[in-house]
Chains A and B, each alone.
Chain A
Amino acid sequence: MQAAIIVFPGSNREQDVYDALERASGKKPLKVWHRDSELPKADLLVIPGGFSYGDYLRCGAMAAHSPIMREVSARASRGTPVLGICNGFQILTEAGLLPGVLLTNKTLKFHCKDVHLRIETSQSLFTSRYEAGQVIRVPVAHHDGNYFADPATLDRLEEKGLVAFRYCTPNGELTEESNHNGSARHIAGIFNEAKTVLGLMPHPEDATDPLLGGTDGQALFAGLVEALA
């Protein structure tokens, strides 16, 4: 699997996801600078976390309208899988590749800690190595991760099985407290209609090395390698 990571000014988790992808696939991902007009041939496009363009205007808004994102959207519409993590999720919503928007955390604070996520479906490229209902522990690091969409959009996401992950307790319960940032219906990550685009706020790439305190994110990358090899 050849992955390409799109790097914007202000991206800062590109090396984390690079390492996770390389460990899973044995192949070095490509890094694509936002000014590059040519997007190389790739099996997977990744938009990493960070603070692209300093979060000016709205998180992800400037990056979403940069020329390289037009190319990413074109590839996505032809079926190339796209993974957006944290700021990458914000960029995908601003670019219209995923519905909804990420608002400021309900606490008004930057959250940097491990959280528990319930896997909502194993029926996707990204979650095939997990079981539906399984609980994993991965870090979050964001100020604006409070998922919002109108009730009709939320209903449609649920009906079509497009919710990928929800914030939960270690036992998989959806309590008010476990929904640390106030996301609508505890949503931590969603797919597009074709389930070829995934956006999520938590950082599975930072849970792929035992030295960093957990490896629950490994299966996401292993599943992608298996599906896209």
Chain B
Amino acid sequence: MRARVHVMLKPGVLDPQGKAIAHALGSLGFKGVNEVRQGKVIDLDLAESDPARAKAELEQMCRQLLANTVIESYQIELGQ
């Protein structure tokens, strides 16, 4: 089963990379970019085929390694 994990900085946590991207977009002439936040996408191919069990395992993976929950939130998307 395939899965995709989105990791984003929590609101309020400074994202200097996002700010730099917003600035660069502005200097390229893209007006009206109010804010940019940059995150990560992690694709996984799992041996598990049961969606509930896969989801539970992914939750553990996110909490233990894939995200640092002090500053990041995560979202799990299950594929086929």
Chain A residues within 8 Å of B, Cβ to Cβ: 57-58, 61, 65, 93-94, 99-101, 103-108, 146, 148-150, 182
Q: Say whether chain B's binding surface is mostly helix, strand, loop, or mixed.
A: helix
Q: A106 to chain B: which residues have CB within 8 Å?
A: 14, 16
Q: A149 to chain B: which residues have CB within 8 Å?
A: 70
Q: A65 to chain B: which residues have CB within 8 Å?
A: 64-65
- In this complex, the member of B14, B17, B20, B64 whose beta carbon has the largest number of chain A beta carbons within 10 angstroms is B14
Cα of A67 to Cα of B10 in the assembled complex, Å: 29
Whether B13 sits at the interface, judged by CB under 8 Å, is: yes
- In this complex, the member of B20, B65, B70 whose beta carbon has the largest number of chain A beta carbons within 10 angstroms is B70
Q: Are B14 and A108 in contact (CB under 8 A)?
A: no
- Known A103-B71, A108-B20; judge A148-B65 contact (CB<8 A): no
Cα of A103 to Cα of B18 in the assembled complex, Å: 13
Q: B64 to chain A: which residues have CB within 8 Å?
A: 65
Whether B66 sits at the interface, judged by CB under 8 Å, is: yes
Q: Are A182 and B68 in contact (CB under 8 A)?
A: no
Q: Are B68 and A103 in contact (CB under 8 A)?
A: no
Cα of A162 to Cα of B6 in the assembled complex, Å: 34
- In this complex, the member of B20, B64, B71 whose beta carbon has the largest number of chain A beta carbons within 10 angstroms is B71
